[in-house]
Amino acid sequence: MVVKVTLKDGSIREYQKGTTLARVAADISGRLGREALAASLDGRLVDLATPLERDAGVVFYTFDDEEGRQVFRHSTSHVLAQAVQRLFPGTRLAIGPAIADGFYYDFDSPVRFTPEMLEKIQAEMESIVEEDLSFERLDMSRQEALEFFRRAGEDYKVELINDLPENAAISCYRQGEFTDLCAGPHVPSTGRLKSLKLTGLAGAYWRGSEKNKMLQRIYGTSFPRKSMLDDYLFRIEEAKKRDHRRLGTELDLFSIQEEGPGFPFFHPKGMVLRNELERFWREVHRKRGYQEVRTPIILNRSLWERSGHWDHYRENMYFTRIDDSDYAVKPMNCPGSILIYKSRLHSYRDLPVRLAELGLVHRHELSGVLHGLMRVRCFTQDDAHIFMLPDQVKDEITGVIDLVDYFYSVFGFKYRVELSTKPEKAMGTEEIWELATGALEDALKSKETDYKVNEGDGAFYGPKIDFHLEDCLGRTWQCGTIQLDFLMPEKFDLSYIGEDGQKHRPVMIHRVVFGSMERFIGILTEHFGGAFPVWLAPVQVRVLPITDRQLDYGREVTARLEREEIRAELDDRNEKINYKIREAQGLKIPYMLVVGNREAENGTVAVRHRSAGDLGPAGLEEFVSRIREEIRTRSV
Q: Determine whether 82 is an active site residue.
A: no
If you count them, how many residues does the chain have?
A: 636
Q: Determine whether 231 is an active site residue.
A: no
Q: Which residue type sits at 139?
A: D
- Sign of CA pseudo-dihedral 172, 174, 180, 182: negative
Q: At what angle do helices 430-446 and 393-410 cross, to 10 degrees?
A: 50
Q: What secondary structure letter does DSSP report for 133?
A: P
Q: Determine whether 363 is an active site residue.
A: yes
Is the distance from CB of 472 to CB of 411 less than 8 angstroms?
Answer: no
Q: Determine whether 452 is an active site residue.
A: no
Instruction: Name the residue among 356, 350, 351, 340 with its Cα closest to residue 284.
Output: 356
Kindly name the residue from 334, 471, 483, 608 that is annotated as catalytic: 334
Relative to beta strand 44-46, strand 214-223 is unpaired
Please, is 451 exposed, middle or buried when counting C-beta atoms within 10 Å of its C-beta (0-12, 13-18, 19+)?
middle
Q: Determine whether 540 is an active site residue.
A: no
Kindly name the residue from 192, 363, 588, 608 that is annotated as catalytic: 363
Q: Determine whether 493 is an active site residue.
A: no
Kindly name the residue from 381, 483, 540, 550 that is annotated as catalytic: 381
Kindly name the residue from 285, 309, 354, 510 that is annotated as catalytic: 510
Q: Determine whether 362 is an active site residue.
A: no
Q: Which residues contact 413 (CB under 8 A, 6 or more apart)?
A: 469, 470, 471, 527
Q: Which residues contact 351 (CB under 8 A, 6 or more apart)?
A: 387, 388, 389, 392, 496, 506
Q: For 45-96, what is the HEC assignment?
A: EECCCCECCCCEEEEEECCCCHHHHHHHHHHHHHHHHHHHHHHCCCCEECCC
Instruction: Name the residue among 386, 384, 388, 365 with its Cα closest to residue 295.
Output: 384
- The DSSP bridge partners found for residue 384 are 356, 511
Measured CA to CA, the distance from residue 627 to residue 401 in angstroms comes to: 31
Kindly name the residue from 197, 244, 385, 610 that is annotated as catalytic: 385
Kindly name the residue from 47, 106, 382, 383 that is annotated as catalytic: 383
Kindly name the residue from 157, 217, 464, 511 that is annotated as catalytic: 464
- Sign of CA pseudo-dihedral 595, 597, 602, 606: negative
Measured CA to CA, the distance from residue 169 to residue 165 in angstroms comes to: 9
Measured CA to CA, the distance from residue 518 to residue 576 in angstroms comes to: 37
Tell me the catalytic residues.
334, 363, 381, 383, 385, 464, 510
